[in-house]
Amino acid sequence: MTIDERTRPAPASPPRGSGSATAKRILPLPVTGQEFVLIGVIVVLWVLLGIFTPAFLTANSIQPLLVSVAPIALIGVGMTFIIITAGIDVSVGGAIMLCAVVVAKTMVSVDIPLIGAVALAVALGLVLGLVNGVLIAYGRVAAIIITFGTANLFQFFALRVFGSSTVNGIPSTLEVFGRGEAGRTLGVPNSFAIMIVIAAVAWWYLRHAAGGRHLFAIGGNTNAARLVGIKVQPRVMLAYGLTGALVGLGACFILASGTATLDQSVGAGKELQVIAAVVIGGTSILGGRGSVIGTVLGAILVQTVTSGVTQLGWPSQLANLFVGIFIIIAVGTDLLRERARRKA
Protein backbone atom coordinates (compact mmCIF):
# COMPACT_ATOMS: atom_id res chain seq x y z
CA MET A 1 0.00 0.00 0.00
CA THR A 2 1.75 3.13 -1.11
CA ILE A 3 0.50 6.66 -0.89
CA ASP A 4 1.02 7.19 -4.61
CA GLU A 5 -1.69 4.72 -5.45
CA ARG A 6 -4.19 6.91 -3.70
CA THR A 7 -3.10 10.42 -4.55
CA ARG A 8 -3.83 9.60 -8.17
CA PRO A 9 -7.27 10.87 -9.11
CA ALA A 10 -9.70 8.11 -8.35
CA PRO A 11 -10.93 6.29 -11.44
CA ALA A 12 -14.63 6.52 -12.11
CA SER A 13 -16.10 5.12 -8.94
CA PRO A 14 -17.04 1.45 -9.14
CA PRO A 15 -20.73 0.75 -9.68
CA ARG A 16 -22.60 0.78 -6.38
CA GLY A 17 -23.84 -2.58 -5.22
CA SER A 18 -20.64 -4.30 -6.24
CA GLY A 19 -19.99 -4.27 -2.50
CA SER A 20 -21.99 -7.39 -1.85
CA ALA A 21 -19.18 -9.49 -3.30
CA THR A 22 -16.98 -8.47 -0.36
CA ALA A 23 -19.80 -8.30 2.18
CA LYS A 24 -18.74 -11.36 4.11
CA ARG A 25 -15.12 -10.32 4.06
CA ILE A 26 -15.52 -7.42 6.48
CA LEU A 27 -14.69 -10.19 8.93
CA PRO A 28 -11.64 -12.39 8.75
CA LEU A 29 -12.23 -15.93 7.50
CA PRO A 30 -14.22 -18.09 9.95
CA VAL A 31 -11.33 -20.48 10.46
CA THR A 32 -7.89 -18.90 10.76
CA GLY A 33 -4.49 -20.19 9.76
CA GLN A 34 -3.58 -21.05 13.33
CA GLU A 35 -6.71 -23.17 13.68
CA PHE A 36 -5.82 -25.17 10.56
CA VAL A 37 -2.38 -25.74 12.06
CA LEU A 38 -4.03 -26.96 15.28
CA ILE A 39 -6.31 -29.34 13.38
CA GLY A 40 -3.22 -30.63 11.56
CA VAL A 41 -1.29 -31.16 14.80
CA ILE A 42 -4.24 -32.98 16.39
CA VAL A 43 -4.67 -35.24 13.34
CA VAL A 44 -0.94 -36.06 13.29
CA LEU A 45 -0.98 -36.82 17.03
CA TRP A 46 -4.03 -39.08 16.73
CA VAL A 47 -2.48 -40.96 13.80
CA LEU A 48 0.83 -41.39 15.64
CA LEU A 49 -0.93 -42.49 18.84
CA GLY A 50 -3.07 -44.86 16.77
CA ILE A 51 0.07 -46.42 15.30
CA PHE A 52 2.00 -46.77 18.54
CA THR A 53 -0.89 -47.71 20.85
CA PRO A 54 -3.47 -49.46 18.71
CA ALA A 55 -6.00 -49.11 21.53
CA PHE A 56 -6.03 -45.32 21.15
CA LEU A 57 -8.27 -45.02 18.12
CA THR A 58 -11.10 -47.00 19.66
CA ALA A 59 -14.32 -45.81 21.24
CA ASN A 60 -13.09 -47.00 24.65
CA SER A 61 -10.25 -44.51 24.44
CA ILE A 62 -11.78 -41.64 22.47
CA GLN A 63 -14.98 -41.39 24.54
CA PRO A 64 -13.20 -40.74 27.86
CA LEU A 65 -10.93 -38.29 26.02
CA LEU A 66 -13.97 -36.29 24.85
CA VAL A 67 -15.47 -36.46 28.36
CA SER A 68 -12.28 -34.93 29.73
CA VAL A 69 -12.23 -32.28 26.99
CA ALA A 70 -15.81 -31.12 27.71
CA PRO A 71 -15.36 -29.14 30.98
CA ILE A 72 -12.03 -27.61 29.88
CA ALA A 73 -13.41 -26.45 26.54
CA LEU A 74 -16.70 -25.31 28.10
CA ILE A 75 -15.01 -23.08 30.68
CA GLY A 76 -12.53 -22.14 27.96
CA VAL A 77 -15.39 -20.58 26.00
CA GLY A 78 -15.98 -18.14 28.87
CA MET A 79 -12.25 -17.63 29.31
CA THR A 80 -12.03 -16.73 25.59
CA PHE A 81 -14.54 -13.91 26.17
CA ILE A 82 -12.46 -12.67 29.10
CA ILE A 83 -9.09 -12.84 27.37
CA ILE A 84 -10.50 -11.10 24.28
CA THR A 85 -11.26 -8.12 26.57
CA ALA A 86 -7.58 -8.29 27.64
CA GLY A 87 -8.49 -9.77 31.01
CA ILE A 88 -7.79 -13.12 32.68
CA ASP A 89 -9.40 -15.31 35.33
CA VAL A 90 -7.10 -17.55 37.39
CA SER A 91 -9.83 -18.27 39.94
CA VAL A 92 -11.70 -20.90 37.87
CA GLY A 93 -9.91 -23.77 39.64
CA GLY A 94 -11.09 -22.52 43.03
CA ALA A 95 -14.56 -21.79 41.65
CA ILE A 96 -14.84 -25.35 40.24
CA MET A 97 -13.87 -26.72 43.65
CA LEU A 98 -16.48 -24.64 45.46
CA CYS A 99 -19.28 -25.41 42.98
CA ALA A 100 -18.44 -29.13 42.94
CA VAL A 101 -18.35 -29.54 46.71
CA VAL A 102 -21.52 -27.54 47.32
CA VAL A 103 -23.46 -29.54 44.70
CA ALA A 104 -22.02 -32.87 45.89
CA LYS A 105 -22.88 -32.19 49.55
CA THR A 106 -26.37 -31.03 48.58
CA MET A 107 -26.98 -34.18 46.52
CA VAL A 108 -25.78 -36.36 49.39
CA SER A 109 -28.03 -34.73 51.98
CA VAL A 110 -31.11 -33.79 49.90
CA ASP A 111 -32.71 -35.72 47.09
CA ILE A 112 -32.62 -33.03 44.38
CA PRO A 113 -33.33 -33.78 40.72
CA LEU A 114 -30.80 -33.30 37.89
CA ILE A 115 -32.23 -29.93 36.90
CA GLY A 116 -32.00 -28.69 40.49
CA ALA A 117 -28.37 -29.75 40.82
CA VAL A 118 -27.40 -28.07 37.55
CA ALA A 119 -29.33 -24.89 38.43
CA LEU A 120 -27.63 -24.73 41.82
CA ALA A 121 -24.16 -25.16 40.30
CA VAL A 122 -24.75 -22.61 37.53
CA ALA A 123 -26.27 -20.06 39.90
CA LEU A 124 -23.39 -20.39 42.36
CA GLY A 125 -20.83 -20.18 39.55
CA LEU A 126 -22.56 -17.10 38.16
CA VAL A 127 -22.37 -15.36 41.54
CA LEU A 128 -18.66 -16.19 41.89
CA GLY A 129 -18.01 -14.91 38.35
CA LEU A 130 -19.92 -11.70 39.00
CA VAL A 131 -17.88 -11.11 42.16
CA ASN A 132 -14.77 -11.14 39.96
CA GLY A 133 -16.50 -9.10 37.27
CA VAL A 134 -17.71 -6.33 39.57
CA LEU A 135 -14.31 -5.96 41.25
CA ILE A 136 -12.45 -5.90 37.94
CA ALA A 137 -14.85 -3.71 35.90
CA TYR A 138 -15.85 -1.21 38.58
CA GLY A 139 -12.96 -1.49 41.02
CA ARG A 140 -10.49 -1.05 38.14
CA VAL A 141 -7.91 -3.39 39.61
CA ALA A 142 -5.82 -5.68 37.39
CA ALA A 143 -7.75 -8.87 36.64
CA ILE A 144 -4.87 -11.18 37.51
CA ILE A 145 -4.58 -9.67 40.98
CA ILE A 146 -8.31 -9.79 41.73
CA THR A 147 -8.79 -13.35 40.50
CA PHE A 148 -5.64 -14.52 42.26
CA GLY A 149 -7.20 -13.17 45.44
CA THR A 150 -10.64 -14.66 44.82
CA ALA A 151 -9.05 -18.01 43.87
CA ASN A 152 -7.77 -18.25 47.42
CA LEU A 153 -11.11 -17.12 48.86
CA PHE A 154 -13.06 -19.68 46.83
CA GLN A 155 -10.66 -22.42 47.94
CA PHE A 156 -11.04 -21.37 51.55
CA PHE A 157 -14.83 -21.57 51.39
CA ALA A 158 -14.67 -24.88 49.50
CA LEU A 159 -12.39 -26.39 52.15
CA ARG A 160 -14.76 -25.19 54.86
CA VAL A 161 -17.63 -26.98 53.10
CA PHE A 162 -15.53 -30.13 52.77
CA GLY A 163 -14.75 -30.04 56.47
CA SER A 164 -12.06 -32.54 57.36
CA SER A 165 -13.14 -35.39 55.11
CA THR A 166 -14.04 -36.25 51.54
CA VAL A 167 -17.65 -36.24 50.33
CA ASN A 168 -18.76 -39.85 50.04
CA GLY A 169 -21.76 -41.65 48.58
CA ILE A 170 -22.63 -39.08 45.90
CA PRO A 171 -25.78 -40.28 44.10
CA SER A 172 -25.71 -40.82 40.34
CA THR A 173 -28.04 -37.87 39.61
CA LEU A 174 -25.55 -36.36 37.14
CA GLU A 175 -24.76 -39.58 35.25
CA VAL A 176 -26.25 -38.10 32.09
CA PHE A 177 -23.01 -36.06 31.85
CA GLY A 178 -20.82 -38.98 32.82
CA ARG A 179 -18.47 -41.56 31.34
CA GLY A 180 -20.89 -44.44 31.38
CA GLU A 181 -23.49 -45.65 28.90
CA ALA A 182 -26.06 -43.23 30.39
CA GLY A 183 -23.76 -40.35 29.49
CA ARG A 184 -23.75 -40.99 25.74
CA THR A 185 -26.14 -40.40 22.87
CA LEU A 186 -25.30 -42.29 19.66
CA GLY A 187 -21.85 -42.94 21.08
CA VAL A 188 -21.09 -39.26 21.65
CA PRO A 189 -20.66 -38.15 25.28
CA ASN A 190 -23.54 -35.82 26.20
CA SER A 191 -21.23 -33.41 28.01
CA PHE A 192 -19.13 -33.03 24.86
CA ALA A 193 -22.24 -32.46 22.72
CA ILE A 194 -23.59 -29.83 25.14
CA MET A 195 -20.21 -28.10 25.09
CA ILE A 196 -20.25 -28.05 21.28
CA VAL A 197 -23.73 -26.48 21.20
CA ILE A 198 -22.76 -23.78 23.71
CA ALA A 199 -19.48 -23.14 21.88
CA ALA A 200 -21.39 -22.77 18.60
CA VAL A 201 -23.74 -20.18 20.10
CA ALA A 202 -20.77 -18.33 21.60
CA TRP A 203 -18.96 -18.44 18.26
CA TRP A 204 -21.95 -16.89 16.52
CA TYR A 205 -22.32 -14.22 19.22
CA LEU A 206 -18.66 -13.21 19.10
CA ARG A 207 -18.67 -13.10 15.35
CA HIS A 208 -22.01 -11.62 14.37
CA ALA A 209 -23.64 -9.84 17.30
CA ALA A 210 -22.74 -6.22 18.02
CA GLY A 211 -22.24 -7.08 21.68
CA GLY A 212 -19.67 -9.71 20.74
CA ARG A 213 -17.77 -7.39 18.42
CA HIS A 214 -17.67 -4.83 21.23
CA LEU A 215 -15.67 -7.30 23.33
CA PHE A 216 -12.98 -7.27 20.64
CA ALA A 217 -13.11 -3.47 20.57
CA ILE A 218 -12.68 -3.28 24.34
CA GLY A 219 -9.66 -5.58 24.24
CA GLY A 220 -8.14 -3.73 21.29
CA ASN A 221 -8.37 -0.20 22.70
CA THR A 222 -10.43 0.38 25.84
CA ASN A 223 -10.28 4.14 25.62
CA ALA A 224 -11.42 4.26 22.01
CA ALA A 225 -14.20 1.83 22.88
CA ARG A 226 -15.43 4.23 25.54
CA LEU A 227 -15.25 7.14 23.07
CA VAL A 228 -17.53 5.38 20.57
CA GLY A 229 -20.09 4.84 23.31
CA ILE A 230 -19.53 1.17 24.16
CA LYS A 231 -20.57 0.45 27.75
CA VAL A 232 -17.24 -1.05 28.72
CA GLN A 233 -17.81 -1.87 32.38
CA PRO A 234 -21.06 -3.90 32.11
CA ARG A 235 -19.62 -5.83 29.15
CA VAL A 236 -16.46 -6.76 31.04
CA MET A 237 -18.48 -7.73 34.08
CA LEU A 238 -20.72 -10.02 32.01
CA ALA A 239 -17.72 -11.80 30.48
CA TYR A 240 -16.65 -12.85 33.99
CA GLY A 241 -20.25 -13.69 34.91
CA LEU A 242 -20.59 -15.93 31.84
CA THR A 243 -17.37 -17.72 32.72
CA GLY A 244 -18.66 -18.26 36.25
CA ALA A 245 -21.91 -19.79 34.97
CA LEU A 246 -19.95 -22.11 32.65
CA VAL A 247 -17.70 -23.04 35.59
CA GLY A 248 -20.91 -24.17 37.37
CA LEU A 249 -21.94 -26.42 34.48
CA GLY A 250 -18.34 -27.58 34.02
CA ALA A 251 -18.22 -28.56 37.71
CA CYS A 252 -21.28 -30.82 37.07
CA PHE A 253 -19.40 -32.44 34.15
CA ILE A 254 -16.37 -33.03 36.38
CA LEU A 255 -18.52 -34.48 39.20
CA ALA A 256 -20.25 -36.80 36.73
CA SER A 257 -17.02 -38.10 35.26
CA GLY A 258 -15.63 -39.00 38.70
CA THR A 259 -16.52 -41.61 41.28
CA ALA A 260 -19.06 -41.44 44.11
CA THR A 261 -16.33 -39.85 46.23
CA LEU A 262 -15.18 -36.24 45.89
CA ASP A 263 -11.87 -35.21 47.43
CA GLN A 264 -10.15 -31.88 48.01
CA SER A 265 -8.08 -32.11 44.83
CA VAL A 266 -11.07 -31.29 42.59
CA GLY A 267 -10.44 -28.29 40.34
CA ALA A 268 -6.74 -28.08 41.22
CA GLY A 269 -4.75 -26.75 38.29
CA LYS A 270 -7.83 -26.57 36.07
CA GLU A 271 -7.36 -22.81 35.58
CA LEU A 272 -4.03 -23.51 33.93
CA GLN A 273 -5.48 -26.18 31.63
CA VAL A 274 -8.27 -23.79 30.61
CA ILE A 275 -5.93 -20.86 29.97
CA ALA A 276 -3.58 -23.19 28.10
CA ALA A 277 -6.45 -24.29 25.83
CA VAL A 278 -7.46 -20.68 25.11
CA VAL A 279 -3.93 -19.47 24.44
CA ILE A 280 -2.94 -22.48 22.33
CA GLY A 281 -6.16 -21.86 20.41
CA GLY A 282 -4.81 -18.54 19.19
CA THR A 283 -6.60 -16.05 21.42
CA SER A 284 -4.19 -13.19 22.03
CA ILE A 285 -3.24 -12.73 25.67
CA LEU A 286 -2.95 -9.00 24.79
CA GLY A 287 -6.66 -8.86 23.99
CA GLY A 288 -8.61 -7.91 20.88
CA ARG A 289 -8.24 -11.17 18.98
CA GLY A 290 -9.40 -14.71 19.54
CA SER A 291 -11.86 -17.42 18.66
CA VAL A 292 -13.97 -20.10 20.29
CA ILE A 293 -13.09 -22.65 17.60
CA GLY A 294 -9.43 -22.30 18.53
CA THR A 295 -10.22 -22.77 22.21
CA VAL A 296 -12.12 -26.04 21.59
CA LEU A 297 -9.24 -27.29 19.42
CA GLY A 298 -6.76 -26.17 22.09
CA ALA A 299 -8.65 -28.14 24.74
CA ILE A 300 -8.68 -31.25 22.52
CA LEU A 301 -4.94 -30.89 21.93
CA VAL A 302 -4.13 -30.47 25.63
CA GLN A 303 -6.22 -33.49 26.63
CA THR A 304 -4.86 -35.59 23.75
CA VAL A 305 -1.32 -34.95 24.94
CA THR A 306 -2.25 -35.80 28.55
CA SER A 307 -4.11 -38.95 27.58
CA GLY A 308 -1.51 -39.97 25.00
CA VAL A 309 1.35 -39.74 27.47
CA THR A 310 -0.58 -41.99 29.86
CA GLN A 311 -1.46 -44.54 27.19
CA LEU A 312 2.11 -44.72 25.95
CA GLY A 313 3.14 -45.48 29.51
CA TRP A 314 5.44 -42.47 29.66
CA PRO A 315 6.03 -40.57 32.90
CA SER A 316 3.02 -38.29 33.35
CA GLN A 317 5.12 -35.16 33.87
CA LEU A 318 5.99 -35.32 30.15
CA ALA A 319 2.45 -34.06 29.51
CA ASN A 320 3.34 -30.85 31.36
CA LEU A 321 6.47 -30.53 29.23
CA PHE A 322 4.54 -30.84 25.96
CA VAL A 323 1.70 -28.53 27.01
CA GLY A 324 4.29 -26.00 28.19
CA ILE A 325 6.03 -26.12 24.83
CA PHE A 326 2.74 -25.61 22.98
CA ILE A 327 1.92 -22.57 25.16
CA ILE A 328 5.31 -21.01 24.57
CA ILE A 329 5.03 -21.54 20.82
CA ALA A 330 1.51 -20.08 20.75
CA VAL A 331 2.24 -17.02 22.92
CA GLY A 332 5.63 -16.55 21.28
CA THR A 333 4.22 -16.36 17.76
CA ASP A 334 1.52 -13.99 19.02
CA LEU A 335 4.03 -11.62 20.63
CA LEU A 336 6.43 -11.80 17.68
CA ARG A 337 3.60 -10.93 15.32
CA GLU A 338 2.58 -8.00 17.51
CA ARG A 339 6.16 -6.73 17.69
CA ALA A 340 6.62 -7.02 13.94
CA ARG A 341 3.46 -5.02 13.45
CA ARG A 342 4.55 -2.24 15.81
CA LYS A 343 7.82 -1.91 13.93
CA ALA A 344 6.19 -1.77 10.52
Q: Which residues bind another protein (CB under 8 A)?
A: 1, 3-7, 10, 13-14, 16-20, 22-28, 208-210, 213-214, 216-217, 219-221, 223-225, 227-230, 284, 288-289, 341, 344
- Phi and psi, residue 189, nearest 5°: -60, 135
Q: Rank residues 46 and 216 by Cβ distance to another protein and give the closer one.
A: 216
Q: Rank residues 1 and 115 by Cβ distance to another protein and give the closer one.
A: 1
Cβ distance 61 to 124 under 8 Å? no
Minimum Å distance from CB 330 to another protein?
Answer: 16
Cβ distance 108 to 163 under 8 Å? no
Cβ distance 127 to 112 under 8 Å? no
Q: Using alpha carbons only, what angle is made at residue 58 by residues 55 and 62, rounded to the nearest 5 degrees?
A: 105
Minimum Å distance from CB 254 to another protein?
Answer: 33
Q: Rank residues 47 and 335 by Cβ distance to another protein and give the closer one.
A: 335
Minimum Å distance from CB 129 to another protein?
Answer: 24
Minimum Å distance from CB 150 to another protein?
Answer: 25
Q: Rank residues 17 and 313 by Cβ distance to another protein and give the closer one.
A: 17
Q: Rank residues 16 and 140 by Cβ distance to another protein and give the closer one.
A: 16
- Amino acid at residue number 165: S
In sequence order, what DSSP letters do the residues of 177-214 get, joined into one string? GSSSGGGEETTEEHHHHHHHHHHHHHHHHHHHSHHHHH
Minimum Å distance from CB 200 to another protein?
Answer: 14
Minimum Å distance from CB 196 to another protein?
Answer: 21
Q: Rank residues 86 and 195 by Cβ distance to another protein and give the closer one.
A: 86
Q: Rank residues 19 and 163 by Cβ distance to another protein and give the closer one.
A: 19
Q: Using alpha carbons only, what angle is made at residue 18 by residues 15 and 19, rounded to the nearest 5 degrees?
A: 125
Minimum Å distance from CB 51 to another protein?
Answer: 40
Nearest to 247 by CA among 133, 84, 166: 133
Q: Rank residues 184 and 214 by Cβ distance to another protein and give the closer one.
A: 214
Nearest to 82 by CA among 127, 33, 136: 136
Nearest to 128 by CA among 263, 290, 274, 249: 249
User: How far is Cα 335 from Cα 305, in angstroms, rounded to an integer?
Assistant: 24
Helix extents (H) in the chain = 4-7, 33-52, 59-84, 92-109, 114-139, 143-162, 190-208, 210-220, 222-227, 232-257, 270-280, 292-311, 317-343
Minimum Å distance from CB 229 to another protein?
Answer: 5
User: How far is Cα 305 from Cα 293, in angstroms, rounded to an integer?
Assistant: 19
